[in-house]
Structures are given as C-alpha cells and as structure tokens.
Amino acid sequence: MACDDQCLSGKALRKFETINKVKVYSFTPSDAHPHKTILVLSDVFGVELKNIQLITNQLAKRVGVSAYLIDYLNGDPVPEAALKGNFLLPGWLVNHGPEQTRALLNKVMEALNPKRFTDFAAVGYCFGGKYVFNLAQENALKVGATSHPSLLENPKDIEKLLESSHLDSHFPIEFQKLTDKILGDGKYKPGYKHNYYAGVVHGFGSRADLDNPLETKAFEESTEEIISWFKTHLMVSTK
C-alpha cells in the first residue's frame, strides 16, 4: 500500500510563505526561468508532508523553474490516521468543495501572474488532479500533469499527461479507458499522454512505498515522465 510522510529520503527545506493570504511551500533553483513556474497540488493529506515537499523540490530543480506547493486545503488536510481507515471522508469533502479549495488556488495564481510569471504548469496528485483538468480546460496552463486523479466527472472534467494504475479504485480501468477514448488518438489537439502502471495502488505518485519494488519503479518512472513532459511543453529552454 502507499505510505504516509516518510517514504522519500532527503531534506525538505520547509520554506513556507504567504501569497495573497494563502500558505505556500516554494522552491526556486538558482537557474530558475524568470517567467515560468510549476504549481503543485497535493493529495488530501496536504502540504505539510515531507514527501510532497521533496517532490516539489525535485520538479523545480530538474525542470529549472520555481515551484509552488499550494495549501488549497486551507490548513485542514485529511489526517494520516485516515490511512488506517478511521476517517469519514464524505464529511471532510463537504467543507472542501470547489468553492473553498479552488478559490484559494485562484488567489495564488492571481498574485503570481502579474508579479512575474507568464506560463504556468501544474501537477495534481489524487484530489489535486481534478483541478489540473479544470485549469487546462480553461486555458490557464501551458501544460498539466496528473497522477492517480480522483473525484473526476467523466466526461465533464476530461476535455495532457495522465498517470494511473490498474488497482486504483478512485480512477478505475473503465474510467481510464473512457478518458483515453475522449482525449486519445489526437482528439485533444494540445496534446495528451496516458501512462499506465500495473500492480500499484492509488497514491503511488506521491506516497509510494519504496520497500515495494513495483511502487518504487512506478513512482520513479512517473516522476521522470512528468519532468520530461514539463521540459517539453513548458519550453523552459527559451529564456
């Protein structure tokens, strides 16, 4: 199964700032492109977990842009105890609908856009994946990627790089096939790619169990795919 906070090794800088009254973890490499950036949207476990901070660092360094991990859950993530099954998710979702969560994401983008950035990439894990689909549909992104997205309304939300597994109850096989039918074979003109990882469970993209060889392989390959996708479509080589 996917793990919690301590899957990945490394040091997260835990550098938080407030942007337009929203808490944000940010990482800017020394060679960052001045006008392009990555937005990172966590799963329901939020921005405080070391894993998602390390992923943010890695994306920023490898792509060569600033990256912003946005607390669009407003300091109220699902507790880690939920991994043991002792949590009622429907009650939490009532207070974390688009009217609450998307509003915070919008505030950060509004503050960053006139300040310095002209091109946005975004990656969303699980709960955050839905917002990447929505932002892409609104032409608010240069490029987007999701890993094991959840709570999608197909085809409403499907109209970019998609990472999924065959053991994912939140994005089941039939849903994946329908998404491919809608977006694949050149139907989505801006570009679409779906990577499929057999034998792993929901959460592998951000909380992989690195003691499990299959999850380790899926996590590493999916992260490399996202980095390559962003390098290609965010065009960070043009200064």
In a domain, 72, yes or no: yes
In a domain, 239, yes or no: no
In a domain, 199, yes or no: yes
Contact 4, 207 (CB under 8 A): yes
In a domain, 11, yes or no: no
Amino acid letter for position 166: H
Neighbours of 238 (CB within 10 A): 9
In a domain, 9, yes or no: no
Per-residue pLDDT of 218-229, as tens digits, reads 788 888 989 998
In a domain, 220, yes or no: yes
Based on the structure, what is the number of domains in the chain? 1
Average pLDDT value over all residues in the chain: 78
- Domain with 206 in it: 16-233
> What residues form DSSP beta bridges with 27?
67
In a domain, 3, yes or no: no
In a domain, 136, yes or no: yes
Residue 129: closest CA among 183, 65, 203: 203
Per-residue pLDDT of 50-104, as tens digits, reads 889 999 999 999 999 999 999 999 999 988 877 777 778 788 889 998 899 999 9
Interhelix angle 98-115/129-137, rounded to 10 degrees, is 60
- For 193-206, what is the mean pLDDT? 62
Per-residue pLDDT of 110-137, as tens digits, reads 999 877 799 999 999 988 988 998 898 8
Contact 70, 105 (CB under 8 A): yes
**Is the previous residue joined to 155 through a cis bond, with omega within 30 degrees of 0?**
yes
Residue 1 has pLDDT above 50, yes or no: no
Six token digits for residue 110 = 């509004």
Residue 218: closest CA among 235, 205, 231: 205
pLDDT in the model for residue 85: 72
Q: Are strands 119-125 and 143-147 parallel, antiparallel or unpaired?
A: parallel
CA 72 to chain centre: 12
pLDDT in the model for residue 191: 66
Positive or negative: CA dihedral 110, 91, 129, 24: positive
CA–CA separation, 195 and 147 (whole Å): 9
Six token digits for residue 183 = 């977006």
pLDDT in the model for residue 81: 76
pLDDT in the model for residue 219: 82
pLDDT in the model for residue 71: 98
Residue 12 has pLDDT above 70, yes or no: no
Confidence of residue 8 (pLDDT cuts 50, 70, 90): low
188 secondary structure, DSSP code: S
CATH code: domain of residue 52: 3.40.50.1820
CA–CA separation, 86 and 81 (whole Å): 6
pLDDT in the model for residue 35: 94
